[in-house]
Amino acid sequence: MADKKIYQASTTAPVNIAVVKYWGKRDPKLNLPTNSSVSVTLSQADLRTHTTAACSSSFGNEDTLLLNSSPQDVTGARTQACFRELRALRSSLEASDSSLPKLSTLPLRIVSENNFPTAAGLASSAAGFAALVRAIANLYELPSSPTDLSRIARQGSGSACRSLFGGYVAWQMGSKADGSDSVAVEVAPASHWPTMRALILVVSAEKKGVSSTSGMQITVATSKLFKHRAEVVVPQHMEMMEKAIKEKDFETFAKVTMMDSNSFHSVCLDTFPPIFYLNDVSRSAIRVVEDINKKAGKIVAAYTFDAGPNAVIYFEEENVEQVAGVLKSALGSLDGWQGRDIKVQDTEGVDAKAVQVLKEGVSRVILTSVGEGPIRTEESLIAENGEPLKK
Ligand code: DP6
């Protein structure tokens, strides 16, 4: 009788928010970027994808993926690339040890759940692909390092390669045509600078207008400013940012974060036709952060925006009242302060109109911090009989 055994393994993986942004592909097929990038991994207590990967000859003929209980298409080139590469690694293990079960030949059943709204524009593809790759690598018992796996996750979604690590992470663009040196590496673990906080202002929970994938392709094809960003601006930002992280120099970290976000959104505007990710609420968040810094007499907060209007504001715990306290005076009625008792500050010296726009335009806040990379878990989303568990 054929072996019907169900093999499975589970992991959780984090979201990351870049402080030097990835924007532009030099090879869309292999997902190779035109510049390096750096991100901060956020705590999985607030934002994470939980994934179980299973395989069995009893699963029919096809690979399947269920995200938050709804079936996803796995036939796309990106997911297929991840499956193919992971199977190839398993298959060479099987070739060198005939006692290993031939898991590489079995159909995969993947079940995933996010603990945050998938469509909120919160880098869900990064956590999603990182969790998918890590879970299958666990299932296949691959000896691969996080950097090895980042090479695979990158092909799912570029930013996903950085979610294989916790703390402060760089994606080195690499120069080889086959992409073998385009990988993520740790700049510093979360424990090196554990006081980093991130306040996410969810401005819109709608799916973004122009996806990152197509937006960056149009930028590469049409923006002349883009070349300057990739060749001159980003290399400078990379060097300054890695040094700032190593030295825990918040002012430089913050300045580069804000300038890099501004540079990225400038090349979006320089794209033809232009891409607008920031809206009036985003611009008000910038204004309020500027005023918070003026009020403090030094840089205590940094804003950054991805391919959508949501703001992420980085600050250090020691300045929680100066930063989050001011924003809480406008947004205190919203959920997401994680039960933290932050003393509300007065908004004197902070643009009253901008505060009002935030009050009207922000629908949710998430107060979180720097966190760990993927964590293996015994908590499974698939029952022993192979069926997805209902939550
Ligand atoms: C603005 O990683 O979503 O968030 O590789 O096409 O999947 P694909 O793009 P994606 O782009 C992220 C762009 C960004 C900046 C960043 O995270 O570095």
Residue 296 one-letter amino acid = A
Distance in Å, CA 30 to ligand 1 centroid: 14
182 lines ligand 1 (CB under 6 A): no
Residue nearest to ligand 1 atom 7, measured at CA: 157
- pLDDT (tens digit, 0 to 9) for every residue of the chain, 391 residues total? 468 999 999 999 999 999 999 999 999 999 999 999 999 999 999 999 999 999 999 999 999 999 999 999 999 999 999 999 999 999 999 999 999 999 999 999 999 999 887 655 676 789 999 999 999 999 999 999 999 999 999 999 999 999 999 999 999 999 999 999 999 999 999 999 999 999 999 996 666 578 999 999 999 999 999 999 999 999 999 999 999 999 999 999 999 999 999 999 999 999 999 999 999 999 999 999 999 999 999 999 999 999 999 999 999 999 999 999 999 998 988 888 877 888 999 999 999 999 999 999 999 999 999 999 999 999 999 999 999 997 6
Q: Which residue has the tokens 């930063």?
A: 323
Instruction: Give the number of other Cβ atoms within 10 Å of residue 224's Cβ.
Output: 9
What is the dihedral angle through the alpha carbons of 142, 159, 311, 366, rounded to the nearest 10 degrees? -10
Angle between helices 146-156 and 124-139 (to 10 degrees): 130
- Nearest partner of 194 among 372, 7, 56, 357, judged by Cα: 372
CATH code for the domain defined by 7-191: 3.30.230.10
Q: Is the CB of 306 under 6 A from ligand 1?
A: yes
CB 28 within 8 A of CB 356: no
Please, is 229 exposed, middle or buried when counting C-beta atoms within 10 Å of its C-beta (0-12, 13-18, 19+)? buried
For 196-369, CATH gives 3.30.70.890
Residue nearest to atom 6 of ligand 1 (CA): 213
Q: How far apart are CA 333 and CA 354, in angstroms?
A: 17
Distance of CA 142 to the CA centre of its chain: 23
Dihedral-angle region of residue 17 (phi above 0 means left; psi in -120 to 50 means alpha; beta otherwise) = beta
Q: How far apart are the CA of 158 and the centre of ligand 1, in A?
A: 6
Domain ranges of the chain: 7-191, 196-369
154 Cα nearest atom in ligand 1: 5
**How many CA atoms lie within 13 Å of 331's alpha carbon, on the beta-carbon side?**
30
Q: Residue 78 CA: which ligand 1 atom is closest?
A: 7
